[in-house]
Amino acid sequence: MSVNRGTFVERRDVNEDFQQAGHSRAEWAEADRVPERLVPTHCSFCGVQCGMHLRVADGQVIGVEPRDYPHNRGSLCPKGVVAYQQVGHPERLRYPMIRRGGKGGQLERATWDEALDYVVGRWKQIQEYHGKDAVAVYSGSSMTNEKCYLTGKFARVGLGTRHIDYNGRLCMSSAAAAYAKAFGIDRSPLPMTDIPLADCVFVAGSNVAECFPIMMQWIWQARDRGASLIVADPRETPIARTADLWLPVRPGTDVALLNAMLRQVIEDGLVDEAYLAARTTGWEDVRAAVQEYTPEVSERITGVPAERIVAAARLYGRAPTSLIMHARGIEHSTHGINNCLACINLALARGQVGKPGGGTMMITGQGNGQGGREVGQKANQLPGYRHIDVLEERQYVAAVWGIPEPEIPQEGAAATEMVNLMATGEIKSCLILCSNLMVSLPDNAVVARALDTLDPLVVIDFFLSETAERADVVLPGSVWCEDEGTTTNLEGRVVKINAAAQPPGEARPDWQILSDLASRLGRGQFFPYQSTREIWDELRVASHGGISDYFGITWEKIEAQGGVFWPCPTEDHPGTPRLFTERFGHPDGRARMTAIRYEPPAEEPGDDFPFRLTTGRVVYHYLSGTQTRRLGFLNAQAPEPWVEIHPMMAERLGIRDHEMVRVRTPRGSMELKAVVVPTIRPDTLFIPFHYGHAGAVNQLTNPAVDPTCKIPEYKVCAATVERLDVAPGSHGATGTGDAAGPRQNYTPESDPKMFPYAVGETKTPASREGKRH
Ligand code: SF4
């Protein structure tokens, strides 16, 4: 199912939307103007980071033109072609604001000096009385590498707090942890341009056609060469509709599917024993662990017919070159790391990883989701993927920063854990950069209460997001093309973002705001930058010798080569598009295989909540929608959330297509339009997650997290749906096949680490589980 504007507004002309629905100053009619210059840069949205040219006239961005970059070759998706409309948007934040009159007061205009002095004054007070860690930093991953690096340094050197983490924690920290564990390096092993070399593409939990539309051209090329396509997803998404095999897997049961496929590959004699012997460890344990997952056992757990599982294993296993592409569908899980490791086991068993066009590829969601986790804004990492608990790595970074090693704080709370520390008063103030927690974190009623305990809550952003609305101080920052810098796309390719405009009004580039705050904190000598190039050059040195070594990547080289893949340790090194061709990243050069067993999701359906609710993206929006809900054309196509329900269940519950319904989970309820589609499993509901306030599906989702990487389980929780004229809970069970009654496999009491909001934990140097992830 893929919605479009017809789902919401019937019989309107598409051109009318293009002409009328945009709200920005750079209107569509201006696309005819002749630009004074074209600025080569990249899209602000997803991890593909398509190249584009921005059209600039009179100092304003007036449109976009194609750019023939190696991985998008001139193409842009619907989001990319209107991204420029953010620049002159009338809702941009143009001056600082302070909430006057306490928490119940209004955000009112302030001067920069007033706002920054107020924030720094409060931080000094708080840290004097409650310690450095009472102030936290929570940042985004759609920012440039330079901003992400500076944010990590600001937290640790400017504020001296250990609590710094970023919203990539919510995105794909499970995949990152799995790749680090299995391969020793957290990066997709091959470029997108390798995809056409595959004879079989297996997409596990990714709605590629809607979430990463420009990647599809590489998959189509593989198809044109005769490659088969398998898609595992609870919904028949646009890419699933074109697949040779769609595996409609029950949300939260991926390991049972992947292990059964591996078992069948073994049964059919398709394992590459020579590769396993030469390049891996742990294979015998994996072989033994998958034996219990017969096709029939897997069918009972996953809901995928046994014969389809066998067919998928054979299609995948018999292909000379096969590629598994995975994303949030398997990663947003309390077993997210295991799900990714099960994919990796399958690919290693076939001897595919390190081969052109073969192996596994994680599809990073955020624009700089890859770079954002490499440059030192993650709770447990320093720049270059250096580990914050390894003395030599701390010493190296301390020397670059010019501070004694002991001054670098130890590991702090993960983003999901910070909410609990706010609620309990351990964190008293937080600086949030370009991240919309009120839409993106699960169980957002708890998040709202936690944010409201902060004094002050400080937000740097360029639109007044649902989170900024709650702030005590709002500092207006810059959009992506108002500054220079780099991002690292989902391939590990570092690309260059160029400036096309100035921030509007009194808004400032984010790096200048951070440097100013550091200066007022008395730490200005560590933030002497005059430009983002100086930050980049420092980051290159800070990453040198680390896993993600950027040292040899200059801005000039990026432009000359069409991006540079890390690691790139010297200026004459060409970069590394393909990893693991000869050896993996572990000291012995071998990949680690891990025996994985299926464990159910944290919350399963029962009589009161008989469905599995899953969430995801649509083509017209990006993440929390802070940007795309303000871009007229995009918002006109999908202006509000909806719930997808299968016709069989809709009929049983008396729900008609387009009727307003109530969806409830143990955490809350919301009212929204039902869209009755045959493209979803009957036991599953789907709601897109891009909306705020009453439209936020994260009113309903479960805050349970993977105990190691702390990623929340957005992709499955127990839910029910009912007509609005039915009293909540009165219709009883629907007979979806989960008749065992309400069941929680993990409760806050039985496994507190999975419920960070309910119990939480405070890390100490001695209790850092999963410290290398
Ligand atoms: S695929 Fe991603 S990077 Fe490319 S234009 Fe669309 S949103 Fe932008």
User: pLDDT (tens digit, 9 = 90+) per residue, 66-110?
Assistant: 899 999 999 999 999 999 999 999 999 999 999 999 999 999 999
Q: Mapping DSSP to helix (H, G, I), strand (E, B) and coil, where does residue 673 land?
A: strand
How far apart are the CA of 42 and the centre of ligand 1, in A? 9
Least confident of 575-584, 664-673, 708-717, 745-754: 745-754
Instruction: Tell me the pLDDT tens digit for each residue of 378-418.
Output: 999 999 999 999 999 999 999 999 999 999 999 999 999 99
211 in contact with ligand 1, CB cutoff 6 A? no
Strands (E), 260-336: 280-281, 322-326
What's the CA-to-centroid distance between 158 and ligand 1, angstroms?
A: 34
Q: Are 540 and 376 spatial neighbours (Cβ–Cβ below 8 Å)?
A: no
Q: Atom 8 of ligand 1 has which residue's CA nearest to it?
A: 80
Residue 30 has pLDDT above 80, yes or no: no
What is the average per-residue pLDDT within 731-747? 51
What pLDDT sits at residue 750? 82
Q: Which atom of ligand 1 is nearest to the CA of 42?
A: 3
Nearest-5° Cα angle at 20, 14 to 21: 80
**How many separate helices (H) and strands (E) can be counted in the chain?**
25, 32
Q: Is 82 in the pocket of ligand 1 (CB under 6 A)?
A: no
Comparing 399 with 6, the larger pLDDT belongs to: 399
C-alpha of residue 622 to centroid of ligand 1, in Å: 10
**CA quadruple 502, 507, 508, 510: dihedral sign:** negative
Ligand 1 atom 4: residue of nearest CA: 50
Ligand 1 site, residue 50, Cβ cutoff 6 A? yes
Measured torsion, CA atoms of residues 459, 465, 471, 477, in degrees rounded to the nearest 10:
30
In this predicted structure, what is the pLDDT of residue 9? 52
Residue identifier of the C-alpha nearest atom 5 of ligand 1: 80
Q: What average pLDDT does this structure show over 713-723? A: 96
48 CA: nearest ligand 1 atom: 3
Calpha distance 433→388 (Å, rounded): 22
Distance CA 456, CA 158 (A): 17
- Alpha helix (H) residue ranges in 455-561: 510-520, 532-543, 555-561
DSSP state of 489: -
Q: Which atom of ligand 1 is nearest to the CA of 215?
A: 1
φ, ψ of residue 366 in degrees (nearest 5) = -80, 155
| 767: pLDDT strictly greater than 70 | no
| 631 close to ligand 1 (CB < 6 Angstrom) | no
pLDDT of residue 728: 81
The answer, yes or no, to whether any atom of ligand 1 lies below 6 A from the CB of 208, is no
Nearest to 523 by CA among 129, 133, 155: 155
- Assign a CATH topology to domain 189-362: Dimethylsulfoxide Reductase; domain 2 (3.40.228)
> 58 with 36: CB under 8 angstroms?
yes
Q: Is 76 in the pocket of ligand 1 (CB under 6 A)?
A: yes
In angstroms, the CA 390 to CA 386 distance is 8
Q: Whose CA is closest to atom 2 on ligand 1?
A: 46
The finding on whether 49 has its CB within 6 A of some atom of ligand 1 is yes
Mean pLDDT, to the nearest integer, of 49-59?
95
pTM metric for this prediction: 0.93
- Asked whether the beta carbons of 450 and 420 are under 8 A apart, the reply is yes
Rounded CA separation 702/685 (Å): 15
Ligand 1 closest atom vs CA 78: 6
> Quick one: which H or E segment has residue 660?
strand 660-665
CA of 83 to the centre of ligand 1 (A): 9
Query: Alpha-carbon Rg of the chain, whole angstroms?
Result: 25
Helix (H, G, I), strand (E, B) or coil at 323: strand
**Alpha carbon distance 188, 369 (integer Å):** 12
**Does the pLDDT value for residue 433 go beyond 90?**
yes
For the domain spanning 603-743, the CATH number is: 2.40.40.20
Please provide the CATH number assigned to the domain covering 97-171+368-565: 3.40.50.740
Residue 378: per-residue pLDDT = 95
Which pLDDT value is given to residue 3? 56
In the reported structure, the alpha carbon of residue 50 is separated from the centroid of ligand 1 by a whole-number distance in angstroms of 6
User: Is 27 in a helix, a strand, or coil?
Assistant: coil
Of 67, 73, 79, 217, the one to substitute when testing ligand 1's pocket (max ligand atoms within 8 A of C-beta) is 79
pLDDT score recorded for residue 150: 98
Tokens matching residue 86: 């953010």
pLDDT higher than threshold 80 for residue 4: no
The per-residue pLDDT for range 495-511, each reduced to its tens digit, is 999 999 999 999 999 99
State how far the Cα of 462 lies from the Cα of 464, in Å rounded to an integer. 7
pLDDT recorded at residue 621 = 94
Segments making up each domain of the chain, as ranges: 97-171+368-565, 189-362, 603-743
More confident residue, 21 or 674: 674
Region 352-377: what's the mean pLDDT?
95
Residue whose Cα lies nearest atom 6 of ligand 1: it is 77
With 90 as the cut, is the pLDDT of residue 35 above it? no
Kindly give the distance from the C-alpha atom of residue 74 to the centroid of ligand 1, in angstroms, as a whole number: 11
Give the C-alpha separation, 379 to 738, whole Å. Answer: 39
* pLDDT at residue 201 is higher than 90: yes
Give the mean pLDDT of 425-430: 97
Ligand 1 neighbour 84 (Cβ under 6 A): no
Going from the Cα of 48 to the center of ligand 1, the distance in angstroms, rounded, reads 6
pLDDT, position 6: 56
Distance 188 CA to ligand 1 centre (A): 18
- The pLDDT value given to residue 747: 79
With b for 16 or more beta-carbon neighbours within 10 A and e for fewer, the 542-555 pattern comes to bbbebbbbbbbbbb
What's the start-to-end Cα distance of the chain, in Å?
35
Q: Specify the residue with its C-alpha closest to ligand 1, atom 3.
A: 49
| Of 464, 427, 419, residue with least CA distance to 445 | 419
Question: Does the CB atom of residue 80 touch ligand 1 within 6 A?
Answer: yes
pLDDT in tens, 235-264: 999 999 999 999 999 999 999 999 999 999
> 34 pLDDT band (50/70/90 cuts)?
confident
Q: Which atom of ligand 1 is nearest to the CA of 44?
A: 8
Furthest CA-CA distance within the chain? 72
Report the pLDDT value the prediction gives residue 31, as an integer from 0 to 100: 56
Residue-wise pLDDT tens digits, 277-318: 999 999 999 999 999 999 999 999 999 999 999 999 999 999
3-class DSSP state of 192: helix
Expressed in angstroms and rounded, the spacing between residue 24 Cα and the centre of ligand 1 is 20
Q: What mean pLDDT value characterizes the chain?
A: 92
Q: Is 212 in the pocket of ligand 1 (CB under 6 A)?
A: yes
Q: What is the side-by-side order of every strand in the sheet holding 493-497?
A: 485-488, 493-497, 564-565
Distance 681 CA to ligand 1 centre (A): 29
* Ligand 1 contacts CB of residue 214 (under 6 A): yes
CA atoms within 13 A on the CB side of 762: 10
> Per-residue pLDDT averaged across 578-594, rounded?
98
Report the separation in Å between the CA atom of 230 and the middle of ligand 1, taken as the mean of its atom positions.
23
C-beta of 475 in contact with ligand 1 (< 6 A) = no
The separation between CA 762 and the C-alpha centre of its own chain, rounded to angstroms, equals 24
- The structure tokens listed for 588 are 């012995």
Q: What is the rounded average pLDDT of the residues 533-538?
A: 98
Count of C-beta atoms within a 10 Å radius of residue 750: 10
In 377-455, DSSP assigns E strands to: 381-382, 386-387, 429-433
213 lines ligand 1 (CB under 6 A): yes
Give the span between the Cα atoms of 134 and 262, in whole angstroms: 48
Q: What are phi and psi of 740, to 5 degrees?
A: -80, 0
Percentage of residues in the chain having pLDDT higher than 70 = 92
Mutate to test the pocket of ligand 1, among 52, 68, 214, 633 (most ligand atoms within 8 A of CB): 214
Per-residue pLDDT reduced to its tens digit, 611-626: 999 999 999 999 999 9
For a ligand 1 pocket test, name from 48, 84, 206, 364 the mutation site with the most ligand atoms within 8 angstroms of its C-beta.
48
- 501: Cβ below 6 Å to ligand 1? no
- Residues 136-158 pLDDT 10s: 999 998 999 999 999 999 999 99
Q: What is the pLDDT of residue 267?
A: 98
- In terms of Cα–Cα distance, which of 179, 202, 172, 173 is closest to 584? 179
Cα(247) to ligand 1 centroid in Å equals 27
In terms of phi and psi (left: phi > 0; alpha: psi -120 to 50; beta: otherwise), the region of 282 is left
Per DSSP, the three-state class of 669 is strand
| pLDDT > 90: percent of the chain | 87
What is the pLDDT, as a whole number, of residue 16?
41
Q: What integer pLDDT is reported at residue 604 of this predicted model?
A: 92
Read off the pLDDT of residues 166-190 as tens digits, 9 standing for 90 and up: 999 998 899 999 999 999 999 999 9
Q: Is the pLDDT reported for residue 362 higher than 80?
A: yes
Handedness of CA 770, 587, 358, 493 (dihedral sign): positive
From 41, 42, 44, 45, the mutation candidate for ligand 1 (largest count of ligand atoms within 8 A of CB) is 45
What is the Å distance from ligand 1's center to 213 Cα? 7
Are the C-beta atoms of 499 and 483 separated by less than 8 Å?
A: yes
